[in-house]
Structure 1
């Protein structure tokens, strides 16, 4: 009996499919991997509703009789109000076009409503890489690139630079950097976003990226200021040592002369 009812429904629907249909505006729907979406119909009265996914039939609803045509999806599909379709445990390959063809006795032709489903993954932490670095006169120039190792569909990137007196935003995955040692440090954060989620990288300090530049500047300061002073001090020290030696020798001779004189005077008295 159930098979006969199914046959009658199929025959009725197939006879009506050749009739010209009218369509509503294509609706875009987004869902999260593992989540659920509902394709809502605003029809409370209908004779038959035929649901399809791309070119495959999903289910046929006729009055109180519901026939799910894909056995492997039966546990994932429900009809919350008797006509709308709810799909759960979303997979990447669920993305595509879903169509509801509504037949009503008051319609001269069926009405078709289409939905375009996009299934996205929740974003993980973005990966940040540094591409090249140049150091000149204490100024560091480089660029950072933000990317996703997985789940990178329809992702947009932006950068935030914050610090004392700094609050900047940059669009795009690539951030050029120019930082000079001695400048106030700033924190760089990459922000990634897709239609269902967003994520941010760990904070990055510009000073840490440009440590070589700071070291170069310290080396330059040593050469320009400290090293000349050290050289002058060394020269003065070299010049002073012989003078000190001569002075000590002269003092030694004078002491020896005084001792001899005292001995001579003492001998005379005796």
Structure 2
């Protein structure tokens, strides 16, 4: 009788320890975008009442195992996951297909049993990665001194650039060398044997390599680039100096052109004033003297001493006419008459 309580206590503690030990530690899983991942489930629970799969804080699937004469009942809480979840035959390990980036996160499975005081729990961490694109190699600032080209090469990827590691392979030397990191410092002496560099990028699900990069081509291009840069700078300086020199010339020309225009305008005003003065004499009477010679009608009796001359005053309104006004009732008058 005394042994029965002690045995009961021992079995109870054993069950507690077994249930506690069955709860495994966190398992890290990785998956490829669009691929499939399986969450392995290992347990020693004989009598299972229910299994619950949880994503972050949301229930993903609830399973009621099959009993005698009954099939397991699987309840998927979200319709969008109905076609993506599956379970291995004879096991309740979860398989998730058509992975998306937002599938990354924390997963947990809980096995509830009447034989356990606490549920069996297993936790997982899933990270979904993209396949890496081809790495791109760019060259940094170059320094060529004493015939040696020194620069840095940088390796990078545009897609799938999460948790990426980089490594370099240097070919063309007596012993091929490796370097880890996205930046590779190189030093190559002009005229020496060419060296080739290849960058390899990796993430947990894929890897990809860059095109070979030639040190000779890089450094020979660097030699040409400074000359082109210097020539371009000289052109810019010459252009700026020419522009600065032309500014005062343009200002002087515009000022002289303005003076010439003012002179022409002043001259035109003076000519116009003079013309107006000539065509508009002051008002008043204008005296005209006219004599008429009658050479063929001169008689011997004419005496110059007895000749009478008349002065005719033309009114201002008649200045535009070249003859005296004629009255229809009077005979023509002559400015030259003989008096005896």
Is TM-score (shorter-chain normalized) higher than 0.5? yes
What do the CA deviations read for 1:84-134 (whole angstroms, capped 9, x no partner)?
110000011100011000112322210110000010011110011111111
* 2:105 corresponds to 1:96: yes
- 2:269 corresponds in structure 1 to none
C-alpha separation between the residues in 1 aligned to 2:54 and 2:224? 66
Gap change, CA 1:213 and 1:90, over 3 Å in 2: closer
Gap change, CA 1:87 and 1:212, over 3 Å in 2: closer
Deviation at 1:165, TM superposition (A): 1.1
Q: For 1:147, which of 147, 156, 175 is the aligned residue?
A: 156
- 1:167 corresponds in structure 2 to 176
C-alpha separation between the residues in 2 aligned to 1:124 and 1:158? 15
1:209 aligned counterpart, secondary structure: helix
- 1:129 corresponds in structure 2 to 138
C-alpha separation between the residues in 1 aligned to 2:222 and 2:120? 68
- 2:304 corresponds in structure 1 to none
Deviation at 1:148, TM superposition (A): 1.0
- 1:187 corresponds in structure 2 to 196
- 2:33 corresponds in structure 1 to 33
What aligned pairs does 1:199-238 form with structure 2 within 5 A after superposition? 199-212=208-221
- 1:76 corresponds in structure 2 to 84
C-alpha separation between the residues in 1 aligned to 2:104 and 2:93? 18
Larger displacement relative to structure 2 (101-110 or 31-40): 101-110
1:75 aligned counterpart, secondary structure: coil
Name structure 2 gaps, 5 residues minimum.
Answer: 1-18, 66-71, 226-340
C-alpha separation between the residues in 2 aligned to 1:195 and 1:165? 32
1:114 aligned counterpart, secondary structure: strand
Contact 1:51–1:101 under 8 Å retained in 2? yes
Whichever structure has more helix as a proportion of its residues is 1
Which structure is richer in relative contact order (CA contacts within 8 A, separation 6 or more)?
1
Deviation at 1:56, TM superposition (A): 0.6
Larger displacement relative to structure 2 (131-140 or 50-59): 131-140
Gap change, CA 1:110 and 1:138, over 3 Å in 2: same
- 1:57 corresponds in structure 2 to 59
C-alpha separation between the residues in 2 aligned to 1:112 and 1:56? 16
2:160 aligned counterpart, secondary structure: coil
What do the CA deviations read for 1:221-256 (whole angstroms, capped 9, x no partner)?
xxxxxxxxxxxxxxxxxxxxxxxxxxxxxxxxxxxx
Give the total of aligned pairs. 196
2:82 aligned counterpart, secondary structure: helix
Coordinate RMSD, CA, aligned:
1.8
Contact 1:180–1:213 under 8 Å retained in 2? no
What do the CA deviations read for 1:187-214 (whole angstroms, capped 9, x no partner)?
1000100111111000111111111567
Q: Which runs of 4+ in 1 moved over 3 A?
A: 212-216
Contact 2:142–2:222 under 8 Å retained in 1? no
Gap change, CA 1:130 and 1:215, over 3 Å in 2: closer
TM-score by length of 1: 0.69
